[in-house]
Amino acid sequence: MHSTLGPDWAIRGLNQRAGRYPLSVEAPVLRAVEALVPGVSTLTRYIRYYAFYAALAAHCAEKNLDDEGCRRLLRCGEVVFAAAHHEVPAETPPGPAHGIDRVRAFYGDRLDLARAAAEGKDSYSPRSRGFWEQYGGPSAVLGTTTLDEGALRPGRHSCPHDVRLLFQPVFSLAEADSVSSEELAALKDVTLQSERRPEAPWMVDLFTASWAGRHDPAEWEPDDLIRRASLRVLARAVELYGAEGGSFEEVLRSAVAFGDQIDVDPVLSSIEQSQGWRGILLRHYSIGAWRRLWAALVASIGGEDGDADRTRDELRAWLADQLDDTPVGVVLDELGPLQDSSGHPLPRERQLLAAGDRREPLTNVKLLLAGALRAQELTGIAQKTFLGPRRRGMGEILDPTWVRFLAEDYRARSFKDLGARLVDDMLAQAARIARAKMRRDPVTGRLLLFSRVHERNDRFFKTSNEGDGDIGLRVQQLGDFSLQLNLFDTIGGGWTVTSEARTALELV
C-alpha cells in the first residue's frame, strides 16, 4: 500500500515573513530617482564616509590587500571610526556615526576591537562588509572607489593626499586587537563633527561636476552631469523657496511640482531634469496614498489568534462606509481643474492633504483620483516620468492610468462602490506580489511567503501592521550633503544657498 505524501516543501511547511512594498506601487519612482540622483542613496548620510572609504581603498591598494584582507581592514576600520565618536552625543549635528550604539557594547577600559569587528550577528554589524554595503554602490558611481575581484581599490577620482593622511591613524589602530581610550581620543579630527574637513573641496568638485568652481561637461561622465543637474535644480529651489523653511523635498515641490517656475525661471527652464522631478514629485502623492490606504486597511484586520479577523465583505464595508454616495463623476469634477489656463499644475494634492488627515482613507482615495487626472493632463518628460515604463502602452495595476480607467468605468456609480472595488484590488494585488516573491529558504528548506496579510477559510488575518511612511526620494540626502559641503546654509528657520554653490552650480 502506497501513501501520497505530496511535495517535499509541503511536508516541511511554510514560513511567513513581513515583506517590503506589498502592493508594488513604488518601482517607477524608485527607478526614476535612482537615475536622477546617481551616487546618492537613502542610506548614505554623511559626506565623510565617502572620504573614509576612498582613503581606505587607497590604503588597501598601497598594501596590495586581497578581498579577505580588505574586508578585515574595512570592518576594523569602521569600528575604530565609530568608536572615535564614543563621547559625542548622538544628537550633535550632523548626527551619530554608523554603528556607534553597537560599538559601545565592546567599550570598557579599552575597545575590544577584535571581538567588535569579528564577523557574525554579535559584532558591530552582521553584514560581512558592514556599512560599506550602504556606501559601496554610491561610491563607485561617484568614482571614488571600485572593486577588483572583491578587493577595494581607488576609482577614477583618486583620493587626495591630505584626505588619506586624515584617516591614516584609523587604519593604523585597526591593526590592533584592542584600542585604548587615549588612542581613540586622539582621533577627534576624524569625527563627523570635526572642523577639519580636507575632503570638502574634493567632494564639492565631485558632486557639482566642476573643478575649483569651473564646469566643463566634456570632463565628466553622464552620471556626473545628471547628479549636477539635480543638485542645480535643488539649489535653485532653495534660492526661490528655501527661506520659507520646511524639508528640502517640500522646497523642491514648491519650485518644480506646481506653478510656472520650471517654464519661466532662467535656471530651472534650462535644466531638462526639472521636468523629470515634476513627474516624480507628483507621482509620489499617488504612491503615498496607496501605502497609507493599504496600511489603514491592514490596521483594521485582527491577528491570527484574535476575534477581529475579517471577511472580504467586512473589509469592503470598512472603506465604503468612510465614503459617501456621491457619483464618482461628481467627485472627479470637484477635484478639477488640476492645472491653470496656461497648463501649469495647481497644488491640488497639497490642498487635499492640508484639508484632512493624511491617514484618512477619504483623503487618500481622492489623491488617487487626482493622480488619475494628472496622467491625462501632464505632457512631455513630466508625463513620461510620472507614468513610468508601461507594457504595450497600458498602465500597470494600481498605477494612475489604471486608476483613470477604473474611475471612468465607475463614473456613474457611487463613491462607496469605488471604495469597495479598491479593497478587492488591493487584496488581489497584495496576494499576487506575495506569490511572486515567494521563494525557498536555502537554510530551512521551507517556502518563504513575504506577506503580513493572510487568508484562511475566507477570512483575513494579519501577522503585523504595515508601515505607511512615504518612500524616500534622496532629496533630503542631497540637501544634507549640500549643508555638509557648505553649498547650503541655514537662515532663520529655512535654507539659503552659499556663494560657493552659486559659482560651482552656475546659478548666477
pLDDT of 179 strictly over 90: yes
> What is the rounded average pLDDT of the residues 397-417?
96
Q: Is 179 in the same domain as 149?
A: yes
Phi-psi region of 153 (alpha: psi -120 to 50; beta: other; left: phi over 0): beta
Instruction: Classify residue 78: in a domain, yes or no.
Output: yes
Instruction: Classify residue 239: in a domain, yes or no.
Output: yes
> What is the rounded average pLDDT of the residues 254-276?
97
Q: Is 259 in the same domain as 277?
A: no
pLDDT of 392 strictly over 70: no
**For cell 585604548, what's the residue?**
180
Q: Is 448 in the same domain as 434?
A: yes
What does the mean pLDDT of the chain come to? 93
pLDDT of 111 strictly over 80: yes
In this prediction the pTM is 0.92
Tell me what pLDDT residue 15 has: 60
**For cell 565628466, what's the residue?**
220
pLDDT band at residue 6 under the 50/70/90 scheme: very low
- HEC per residue, 413-459: CEHHHHHHHHHHHHHHHHHHHHHHHCEECCCCCCEEEECCEEEECCE
pLDDT of 394 strictly over 70: no
CB count within 10 Å of CB 335 equals 18
Tell me what pLDDT residue 269 has: 97
Q: Is 365 in the same domain as 457?
A: yes
> What is the rounded average pLDDT of the residues 483-498?
96
What is the bridge-based pairing of β-strands 447-450 and 14-17?
A: parallel
Q: Is 371 in the same domain as 409?
A: yes
Instruction: Classify residue 13: in a domain, yes or no.
Output: no
Instruction: Classify residue 197: in a domain, yes or no.
Output: no
Q: Which domain holds residue 239?
A: 208-269+472-504
Task: Output phi, psi for 310, to 5 deg.
Answer: -130, 145
Task: Write out the E strands in 288-387.
Answer: 310-311
Q: Is 279 in the same domain as 254?
A: no
Q: Which of 199-208, 254-263, 431-440 has the lowest mean pLDDT?
A: 431-440
Whether the bond between 442 and the residue before it is cis, its omega within 30 degrees of 0, is no
Q: Is 392 in the same domain as 264?
A: no
Q: Is 226 in the same domain as 185?
A: no
Q: Is 371 in the same domain as 453?
A: yes
Helix (H) / strand (E) element for 494: namely strand 494-497
Tell me what pLDDT residue 441 has: 78
> What is the rounded average pLDDT of the residues 403-413?
96
- Looking at residue 190, what DSSP letter applies? G
Q: Is 160 in the same domain as 260?
A: no
pLDDT band at residue 40 under the 50/70/90 scheme: very high
Residue type (1 letter), 201? P
pLDDT of 276 strictly over 60: yes
Instruction: Classify residue 30: in a domain, yes or no.
Output: no
Q: Is 329 in the same domain as 297?
A: yes
Instruction: Classify residue 199: in a domain, yes or no.
Output: no
pLDDT of 9 strictly over 90: no
Q: Which three cell numbers stand for residue 443?
A: 537554510
Tell me how many degrees the CA angle 309-312-314 measures, rounded to the nearest 5: 70
Out of 135, 162, 191, a domain closes at: 191
Distance from CA of residue 256 to its chain's centroid?
20
13 versus 464: which is more confidently predicted?
Answer: 464
SS3 (DSSP) at 14? strand
**Alpha helices (H) along 91-193:** 100-103, 113-117, 132-142, 161-173, 181-185
pLDDT of 4 strictly over 50: no
Helix (H) / strand (E) element for 152: namely strand 151-154
Out of 159, 191, 223, a domain closes at: 191
SS3 content of the chain, % helix, strand, coil (to 5): 55, 10, 35
Instruction: Classify residue 327: in a domain, yes or no.
Output: yes
Q: What is the pLDDT of residues 353-388, one digit of tens each?
A: 999 899 999 999 999 999 999 999 999 999 999 999
pLDDT of 11 strictly over 90: no
pLDDT band at residue 303 under the 50/70/90 scheme: confident
Tell me what pLDDT residue 12 has: 41
Share of the chain above pLDDT 70, in %: 95
Instruction: Classify residue 9: in a domain, yes or no.
Output: no
Q: Is 84 in the same domain as 171?
A: yes
Number of structural domains found in the chain: 3
pLDDT of 406 strictly over 70: yes
* CATH label of the domain that carries residue 248: 1.10.10
Residue type (1 letter), 240? L
pLDDT of 490 strictly over 90: yes
**Contact yes or no for 442/360 (Cβ under 8 A):** no
Q: What is the pLDDT of residues 116-172, one digit of tens each?
A: 999 999 999 999 999 999 999 999 999 999 999 999 999 999 999 999 999 999 999
